[in-house]
Structure 1
């Protein structure tokens, strides 16, 4: 008895950045709970005028499209860059000396220029010998680089800050819309044991996305985009201009 050809897919997704049309190393993008392809077409319909019923007697497809939507759950630096259509920048450590904080008001929180701060100290601008601000007179959040001064009545403004910052990764927002990626899916059909591979030669993610900053459960980030045709595959119809789906039967 032949097995049923039902389908229930699970698998791994990979992106390979395209540089000058050449796909680089594949990068596994983590757990993807949802992903789907949508094939669209613009169709011209012709209605005959002989029968009196204006029936459609001819159709012509003028434009095709392949779009994708999905969800990412793992927010690696590379995935964050992809989700936000941004660019990653490594910000090295630096030492700041006597940076003016301006006229400080007690109780207000001030952002310093860095994160994971070390060797932090503050002093005022008293002529001659400046007054050092003692640690009990301010609350420092070294991780986020913020400070609140509690008592500034005896200090001469501006307050001067000295500190060393830690290295961080900074991901910009909506700053890179041109990257293209080859998409590859390693799938298994859990309904019958066959394996399925999907390749999209060229994909470009849409810049439109939602990025929730508060979560009650694990975060999921929606992505969408378009597959672009690869005219270098035109000579072999088995490759497909957009890509293809490969059904891999169990080895005999």
Structure 2
């Protein structure tokens, strides 16, 4: 008897032009990794006995789908989930950024950059007073609330820090080599599982505000690697590998 209860690390890698994995990235803590393996078939019944008995079954399509839940909010996981390209934004300074006018008491405006500091607001050469004329609602989001009404043009001078921008759907979905380095907690034995061409879908639902720990649910499909179909060791979709006695 060999009971099993797996834990382990999930890794993904981009594929080279030759169809082999490049550098792997660990996806972090993942409480779920599920395979959905399906086949279709066409049945044939006879038409000579009067009982329409089944005499054949023609094998059809074979599919492998993957469902997993990621606990860690990392740039790699975000980019993979939302087909986003990571673009570095170098910190710098801004001088004379014109704010939308006019401004009433309670208006909240957004500066042109995020993660701002050293903000100075200027009314035709006269600086506005922090926490009297305005307050900084969020340096991270670049939000400023006005405490006094302003009719003349207000300009902003400030600095902003380095950042990484990840625009949703800025890249086409990528094929990834998926590797599960698993351990059977029942007996300590190791199992390695691989899928060669996996494409993940964006998460259908993502709870951005929750009273519990958040997670990133992902599902995807494994495509056949035609170059490996005739390899009895690799197979076309993927494989399980266990250490021999």
Contact 2:230–2:236, Cα closer than 8 Å, also in 1: no
TM-score (structure 2 length as normaliser): 0.92
| Cα distance between partner residues in 2 of 1:7 and 1:26 | 26
- Residue by residue over 1:135-182, the C-alpha shift from the partner in whole angstroms, topping out at 9 and shown as x without a partner, is 131101323211111113xx5422111111111111222333421110
Contact 2:93–2:160, Cα closer than 8 Å, also in 1: yes
1:47 CA drift (Å):
1.2
Structure 1: any 5+ residue segments left out of the alignment? none
Contact 2:203–2:216, Cα closer than 8 Å, also in 1: no
**Is 2:228 the counterpart of 1:233?**
yes
TM-score (structure 1 length as normaliser): 0.90
**Is 2:4 the counterpart of 1:7?**
yes
| Cα distance between partner residues in 2 of 1:181 and 1:84 | 14
Contact 2:10–2:178, Cα closer than 8 Å, also in 1: yes
**Is 2:13 the counterpart of 1:16?**
yes
**Is 2:116 the counterpart of 1:117?**
yes
| Cα distance between partner residues in 1 of 2:186 and 2:54 | 40
Q: How many residues align?
A: 241
| Cα distance between partner residues in 1 of 2:16 and 2:241 | 25
CA distance 1:47–1:177, shift in 2 (3 Å): farther
| Cα distance between partner residues in 1 of 2:169 and 2:49 | 55
Q: Which has the higher strand share?
A: 2
- Residue by residue over 1:61-110, the C-alpha shift from the partner in whole angstroms, topping out at 9 and shown as x without a partner, is 22111110010001111011112222221111122111111212221111
The partner residue of 2:97 within 99, 112, 126 is 99
**Is 2:202 the counterpart of 1:207?**
yes
Q: CA RMSD in A?
A: 1.6
